[in-house]
Amino acid sequence: MDYKQAGVDIEAGNEVVRRIRSLARGTFTPGVLSEIGSFGGLFRLDAAGVDDPVLVASADGVGTKLRVAFLAGRHTTVGRDLVNHCVNDILVQGALPLFFLDYLATGRLDPDVAVQVVEGLSAACRENGCALLGGETAEMPGFYADGEYDVAGFIVGVVSRERLIDGKRIAPGDALIGVPSSGLHTNGYSLARRIAFDVAGLSVHSHVPELATTIGAALLEPHRSYLPLIRPLLASGLIKGMAHITGGGITENLPRILPEGAAARIDRATWRVPRIFEWLQRTGKVPEEDMMRTFNMGIGLIVACDDASADGLVADLGPGATRIGRVEAGHRGVTYSGR
């Protein structure tokens, strides 16, 4: 018996590396010193213009949104999800991305699927000015079912220490601005899939008139990157804190940036909840509290600033950005009103 008979196809792995090398090279920035295939990725940190540089790192996955991708046979969007999620996670601390690495694990390596995933990764890296520095593709027979895989991402960015955004300046009286999401992003899919495919009995290709698209397309809408909006505003010093609204919704994520003695009051009437969330709530008969703790409900990023600066920032943050609440004195947490 050889390794291929045991379920691991080394040639398939080599083919994947050959096919993705050009995709990764297309993301390389001047700091990249290594080629795809090296044991470790090399990156030269050019700190010119960044006084007292601080590296900011994060790691994440796509979660059970992958199951929707498996059902739809569509694998390019999950790569975008992964990169944009990681970019946002370091952006809220004021960091700009430098490089990204991925880990793709599967039971049986399908080069076409692997390349689709990396196509999404590389496209998002180029859009965010981030080098796809390297990664790992692991073939693990007997560990994942045929046609299934998992993917995780690791990002490193940089910020000047004096421009680090940590929420410590947030104080009662500050405004909270909500920036729209592009859908579910990468959270709440265990509940969303249960509602769509088990409760409603839909297939991934079922058209939902209320959503004007298939349920699969609605659920696979890529996670939005907020870097293009936020990057021009970082030098102003007006942003006191930012919360990336991921797993746990506003309820769990907004308190993470509040200092002791500060609480948030959110007015639910200040933004229009996208139809996908209304459909999920009605179809699954999900309590309002659970919706707010599971999904982003149409707000993917919250920005805290002085009340006097809020209107200008709302204009800078573009269509859909709006004041959604304020900071009050109290125990760190979120109170809702307006619905």
Name the token pair of 145: 């079912």
Q: What is the CATH number of the domain that holds 74?
A: 3.30.1330.10
Q: Is residue 168 part of a domain?
A: no
Percent of the chain's residues with pLDDT above 90: 89
Please give the pLDDT value at position 48: 63
Q: Reply yes or no on whether the pLDDT at 158 is more than 70.
A: yes
What are the backbone dihedrals phi and psi of residue 310, each rounded to the nearest 5 degrees, phi first?
-65, -45
Please, what is the average pLDDT of the chain? 95
Tell me: do 24 and 141 sit in the same domain: yes
Tell me: do 127 and 47 sit in the same domain: yes
Percent of the chain's residues with pLDDT above 70: 97
Average pLDDT over residues 59-70: 97
- By CB atoms closer than 10 A (0-12, 13-18, 19+), residue 22 is exposed
Tell me: do 150 and 182 sit in the same domain: no
In which band, very low, low, confident or very high, does the pLDDT at 18 lie, cut at 50, 70 and 90?
confident
Tell me: do 274 and 327 sit in the same domain: yes
322-329 and 262-267: which strand pairing?
antiparallel
Residue for token pair 């397309």: 217
Task: Assign 90 to helix, strand or coil.
Answer: helix
In which band, very low, low, confident or very high, does the pLDDT at 3 lie, cut at 50, 70 and 90?
low
Q: Reply yes or no on whether the pLDDT at 112 is more than 70.
A: yes
Please give the pLDDT value at position 90: 98
Higher pLDDT, 48 or 230: 230
Please give the pLDDT value at position 173: 98
Tell me: do 243 and 207 sit in the same domain: yes
Cα separation, 27 vs 241, whole angstroms: 29
Please give the pLDDT value at position 316: 97
Tell me: do 17 and 156 sit in the same domain: yes
Model pLDDT for residues 5-17, shown as the tens digit of each residue: 667 777 887 888 8
Strand order in the sheet with 149-160: 53-61, 149-160, 96-106, 131-139
Helix (H) or strand (E) holding 113: helix 111-127
Model pLDDT for residues 258-282, shown as the tens digit of each residue: 999 999 999 999 999 999 999 999 9
For 325, the domain range is: 175-337
Domain-terminating residue out of 163, 192, 216: 163
Average pLDDT over residues 125-145: 94
Model pLDDT for residues 173-187, shown as the tens digit of each residue: 999 999 999 999 999
Tell me: do 81 and 115 sit in the same domain: yes
Higher pLDDT, 51 or 196: 196
Q: Is residue 170 part of a domain?
A: no
Query: What percent helix, strand, coil does the chain show, rounded to 5?
Result: 40, 25, 35
Total domain count, the chain: 2
Higher pLDDT, 19 or 76: 76
Please give the pLDDT value at position 5: 66
Q: What is the CATH number of the domain that holds 184?
A: 3.90.650.10
Average pLDDT over residues 285-301: 97
Please give the pLDDT value at position 324: 98
Cα separation, 279 vs 288, whole angstroms: 13
Q: Is residue 269 part of a domain?
A: yes
Is the separation of the CB atoms in 266 and 193 below 8 Å? Answer: no
